[in-house]
Structure 1
Amino acid sequence: MKTSYERLRRTIGKLAYERRYNVRTAELIELDELGIAGAGRGYYVAASWRTLRRTLSRKEITPKDVFVDFGSGMGRMVLEAARFDFGRVVGVELSGQLHEIAQDNVRRTRQRLRCRDIELLQTDVLAYEMPDDISVVFFNNPFQGPVFETVIDRLVATIDRNPRQIKIIYYNPVEERTILGTGRAELVRELVHARRRTAGSPFGLTKVFALS
């Protein structure tokens, strides 16, 4: 009974956010339904609304900071990031269907957001030209393998061009070894976001890395 109650309470909490912000972000969709299924891709489901609030301090974010969500889906983390004082918030999403939903969500809430410079891009992440001022990156296990390795290599390249530190917030960190394997990153924080997670599994965790 307790487990059923907790599950119901979490569901009600998620729906409350949707209703409060008048957005649609809570669905779970298999990628073959979106026409983008492929190796290293799983399904679309949004991260918890509280993820950024648990991993970022408002005091550490300034208008000089740039947030990028790779695999931004319906835009939940874009909306949450835009409630901080980022100078720019970017969402990169492959699915045209999810991209259109994200655009609608941003239109509905833009006037309530701190950051007004929000850019939603419908493109393959490998075609995205990374700017040299990215300071915070978010992954919700959007892709794995060679694609993830390439994205991390390109982030490192931006640091080589413009020395700085990038904070990586990784929800369900399947490719942690790729990040640490650069020799340029360290794990700075780990949070449990699923109460009934399997020990030793990356699912149910959020890990924060500093890449420099």
Structure 2
Amino acid sequence: YQVLLSSTVMPIHTSLREALIGGYKAFNDVEKYAATPMPVGYSTNFSYWRAKILSVIVEWAKSFEVFSRLALDDQMRLIVHSSFSNLVLAEAFNTPEKYTDRIVFPDGLSGFRSPSANALKERSGLIPTVVAVINNILVPIRRMKMTKIEYLLLQAVLFYDPECLSLSEGAQQLIAAKRRRLLDSLRSHLDKKFKDQSE
């Protein structure tokens, strides 16, 4: 995930349909993306990073076998339904641990809790969402000391939401079964983690 996110050649998809119908899966080409990391000083903005994160989320979704079994319309509905939740979770979790007052992207671009600190960076209307991500997601994640395994399982649980009402009945059943397996995995992981801590 991080390799694709920080690669200069990982494409930013121009449309969801185009991203899904091509058959290409970026996660099958990780070495290609690892060979082209962003150089120091690479300059971007919030819009770039949000588009890049969403593109990587689409590629991540395509790496799941159950996702490939869904019809194109169901794939699109599921991504649209869960993309904002996964976007803000990714922004918060991937910010370096030492920060609890800002969102930090791989090139160092930061969105701060204080709107005045953001004033010179970008005037695009994204700042209120950055503040909400910091207050409601980043800070709680830091308090929980969420691990990468927990983050990845939570990201998948958010993605595989059978309550996406626009899914076909068959897709809802596939998604519900996948979510049950993911929740079982998360529960098992947490049970083991907390059992180990109490011993």
What TM-score bracket applies, with the shorter chain setting the length?
under 0.3
Higher helix share: 2
TM-score w.r.t. length of structure 1:
0.23
Task: Indicate the structure (1 or 2) with the bigger Cα radius of gyration.
Answer: 2
- Structure with higher RCO (Cα < 8 A, 6+ apart): 2
Higher strand share: 1
TM-score w.r.t. length of structure 2:
0.24
